[in-house]
Amino acid sequence: MTQCFIRQCVPAAVKAGTLCFALCAATVVNGTDRPPLVIRDQGSLIAGGGLITQPGVFDPYKPMMPDGQTYHGDHVYAFYQVPVDPRPLPILMLHGAGQSAKSWETTADGREGFQNIFLRRGFSTYLIDQPRRGDAGRSLVETTIKPVPDEQLWFNQFRIGLWPETFEGSQFPRGHTAQEQFFRSITPNTGPYDIEVVSNGVSALLEKTGPAILFTHSQGGGPGWLTAIKSRNVRAIVAFEPGSSFVFPEGEVPAPIPSAFDTLSGQAVSQEQFKALTRIPIVIFYGDNIPGQPVRLPAQDSWRARLEMARLWRDTVNRHGGDVRLVHLPEIGIKGNSHFPFSDMNNVEIADLVSKFLAEKNLD
């Protein structure tokens, strides 16, 4: 805490230096061991999206008729916070499938998520609800949402354990309350998932934020790669367990990788598009309990295939002069992480790895 605190204040004027000291005193007054967050500005904004205009003329006496009316949708929503004396590059955080900005907020067991952790480390944060999700819910395409029970699928797929047992030594938050908070944090698509719509939305957000670091999770990985292709403002990507939609240059797409869950294919982009991914530093993190060899269980085998594809992708980008690092956490001695390393019980340790990467690449 003290360290990140000093980081925030030392570059500022003498009076701001005084601020740090006073804040430490205040935290004692507040009876918590955490200093308060000192937020220079916060709010929300909406970017990108499309528009439907119904032919005809709007009749204010028949307001339920769509004629001549408009419908804005497919935009992205973000809640942002700017700490005092922020670091130059803000961090945009893009959630995964069935998730929302909540992914980066309070963890299921009530600890601080990456939103607070990186604010405390002096970064401005933008927490995204992607197009057709959460508070960015208006979709230009119709959809039906059915409450089909699926939580045991996710429990296994997210490598929390093998339902109902949590993996031994798992870093996923324990207990009934945490599990319920986690299940209730799932929120549906309000329109069909469309990787182009999502990456267009995030690119539009980057037009408003300027150069930034992009954190992605799981399904967000694919739109993350496309966003870096579409927007020069992506200066680095930190991808947690990207699940699919790895993009390769035409002619270099590897053979599909079959698994007990699905058959995973790479996506082809032009050599020119692919170049964008060789211009920025990228780090990818995968957690624990991913089998090294094919297994029968779909939830397990899917990640064996995804990690394998991620390694092929890393090698391809680096062969083209890129800078992709893949960190399989157990290989560096960090055990028990689920599909959500950024909110697992050791998420401060994971944040330290991210901070180290950002420092190495002079992104902080």
Residues 113-142 that bind its own copies (CB under 8 A): 113, 115-116, 129, 133-142
Distance from C-alpha of 210 to C-alpha of 333, rounded to nearest angstrom: 36
Number of other CB atoms surrounding residue 180 within 10 Å: 11
> Contact 319/245 with Cβ under 8 angstroms?
no
User: Does 177 contact its own copies by CB under 8 A?
Assistant: no
> Least CB distance from residue 31 to its own copies, whole Å?
10
**In this structure, what are the phi and psi dihedrals at residue 286, rounded to the nearest 5 degrees?**
-125, 145
Amino acid at 310: A
Looking at the Cβ atoms of 61 and 362, the one nearer to its own copies is: 61
Residues 280-339 that bind its own copies (CB under 8 A): 296-299
151 binds its own copies (CB under 8 A): yes
To the nearest whole angstrom, how small is the minimum distance from the Cβ of residue 148 to its own copies? 5
- Give the footprint of its own copies on residues 16-35 (CB under 8 A): 16, 18-19, 21-23, 25-26, 28-30, 32, 34
Cβ proximity to its own copies: between 134 and 222 the closer is: 134
In 3D, which of 189, 209, 204, 190 has the Cα closest to residue 43? 209
CB of 46 to its own copies, least distance (A): 4
Distance between CA 257 and CA 250 in Å, rounded? 18
The first and second tokens of residue 351, run together, are 């944040």
For residue 177, the surrounding DSSP H or E stretch is helix 176-184
Choice from 2, 3, 33, 43 touching its own copies (CB under 8 A)? 43
Q: Is the peptide bond before 35 cis (omega within 30 degrees of 0)?
A: no
Q: Does 188 interact with its own copies (rule: CB under 8 A)?
A: yes
User: Can residue 165 be called a binding residue for its own copies (CB under 8 A)?
Assistant: no
Q: Which of 10, 88, 165, 183 binds its own copies (CB under 8 A)?
A: 183
φ/ψ of 31, rounded to 5, equals: 70, 25
Interface with its own copies (CB under 8 A), residue from 10, 163, 207, 294: 163
CB-wise, 58 or 359, nearer to its own copies? 58
Longest dimension (CA), the chain: 68
For its own copies, give the closer residue by CB, 56 or 270: 56
Binding mask 195-234 toward its own copies (x if CB under 8 A, else -) reads: ----------------------------------------
Q: Which is nearer to its own copies, 259 or 316 (CB)?
A: 259
How far is the CA of 136 from the CAs of 53, 133, 233, 248, 303, in angstroms? 19, 5, 22, 30, 29
10 Å Cβ neighbour count for 170?
A: 21
Q: How many residues bind its own copies (CB under 8 A)?
A: 98
Which range touches its own copies (CB under 8 A), out of 55-63, 218-226, 309-317, 332-340? 55-63
In the complex, minimum distance from the CB of residue 168 to its own copies, in angstroms, rounded to a whole number = 17
Measured from the CB atom, the residue of 186 and 257 that comes closer to its own copies is 186
Long-range pairs, 31-34, Cβ under 8 A, ≥24? 33/1, 34/1, 34/120
- Among residues 4, 7, 37, 308, the one that binds its own copies under rule CB under 8 A: 37
Secondary structure of residue 12 in the 3-state scheme: coil
Asked if 63 touches its own copies (CB under 8 A), the answer is: yes
Nearer to its own copies, 52 or 268 (CB): 52
What angle do the packed helices 195-209 and 221-230 form, to 10 degrees?
50
Looking only at residues 65 through 124 of this chain, which bind its own copies when binding is defined by CB under 8 A? 66, 68-73, 75, 77, 79, 84-85, 100-102, 105-106, 110, 112-113, 115-116
Structure tokens given for 339: 């599909």
- 296 closest CA partner among 98, 149, 96, 156: 156
Check if the beta carbon of residue 89 is closer than 8 Å to that of residue 118. no
Q: How far is the CB of 263 from its own copies (least distance, A)?
A: 16
